[in-house]
Amino acid sequence: MLIQWFPGHMTKALRAMEKSIQKVDSVIYMLDARAPFSCINPEFESLIKNRPVLYVVNKADLVEKNDVDKWIDFFIREGKKVVFASSISGKNVSTIISALTDVNKEKLKRNSDKGVNYSLKAMVIGMPNTGKSTLINSLAKDKKTVTGNKPGVTRSEQWIRLSNNMVLLDTPGTLCHSIKVERTALNLAFLGSIRDAVLDMEGLALKFIEYCLRKYPGVLANRYKIEECENGLDVFDRIARARGFVIKGGEVDYTRTANCITDDFRKGRLGKLILELPDDKE
């Protein structure tokens, strides 16, 4: 299933980020806990290589704790500073400030030794829909940035000053120009990082159903009160009829069903599901 989406504003955003990186001391790199690998953008690598990076694996409340622990171990082995959080509920958000202070400790010490009262500046980057603006609002304890559950809500950079002498730069969620691995593209589409309007939502939902049947048997049966079978299309049909998504003539409304299934996953209604684990790539 070929998926590509890179609107013009993302090109503009990357260029702006290349200029603004010179104004910040470090980077907060947002990832979705359900697919951290897929949320790593290769085009950010040259951008962040000369800055300390704090990885914030967001939406951790949507995955099981033992899966979170596996990712923590992975990032530690990779020598990366990482914090797991849920920006919507506010869980662990306070630890981000202390972690950000830690990755900038050398610069802070140099300024302290000089007697300089310095405002620490950090750029917040990530794929679309990873929760960057929501995180900043949680840290700022006020709705100061525009948020939404669709990719591409943030279209321009926004500077937000926190109460603890820190300044965060919110940036637009940005994909890479070409997603070469199908699994990565599917994961990003499942998460809502790619705009639904450019996707074959019915085909995407079928792929997700097949994934659940392999990795999480019983989840769909429990949510939709159906009997699962090995055929994904049959399960798709059963979900539609169980939900009453039937149009004139008794035909199944697959589009409405597909939107229902993907929305249920994105909002955690199917339970704590994860799309990839460290062992998937190691």
User: Which of 114, 149, 170 lies at the terminal end of a domain, its last residue?
Assistant: 170
144 and 56 co-located in one domain? yes
Please give the pLDDT value at position 62: 95
Strands 53-58 and 26-32: parallel
Report the pLDDT value the prediction gives residue 1, as an integer from 0 to 100: 60
Residues 165 and 206 in one domain: no
247 shares its domain with 209: yes
Sign of the four-CA dihedral 225, 129, 72, 213: positive
Domain shared by 60 and 117, yes or no: yes
In this structure, the answer to whether residues 156 and 16 fall within a common structural domain is yes
CA distance 110 to 237: 63
Closest CA to 168 of 124, 217, 106, 227: 124
pLDDT of 8 reads 64
What single-letter amino acid sits at 276? E
Return the CATH number at 269.
1.10.1580.10
> What b/e sequence results for 74-94 when a residue is b if at least 16 CB atoms lie within 10 Å of its CB, and e otherwise?
bbeeeeebbbbbbbbeeebbe
pLDDT for 262 equals: 98
Q: Which contacts qualify for 228-234: CB closer than 8 Å, 24 or more apart?
A: 232/206, 233/206
Structure tokens at 11: 């090109």
**Ranges under pLDDT 50 in the chain:** 143, 146-155, 282
What predicted TM-score, i.e. pTM, was given to this entire model? Answer: 0.88
pLDDT for 36: 96
Kindly state whether residue 248 falls inside one of the protein's structural domains.
yes
pLDDT digits 0-9 by tens, 201-255: 999 999 999 999 999 999 999 999 999 999 999 999 999 999 999 998 889 999 9
Same domain, 242 and 119: no
The Cβ-side half-sphere exposure at 13, using a 13 Å CA radius, reads: 29
- Is residue 191 in a domain? no
164, 270: one domain:
no
Pair 36, 152 in one domain: yes
Q: Which domain holds residue 130?
A: 8-170
Q: Do 140 and 56 sit in the same domain of this protein?
A: yes
With beta carbons less than 8 A apart as the criterion, state whether 42 and 15 touch.
no
The whole-number pLDDT of residue 136 equals 87
- For residue 90, what is the domain's CATH number? 3.40.50.300
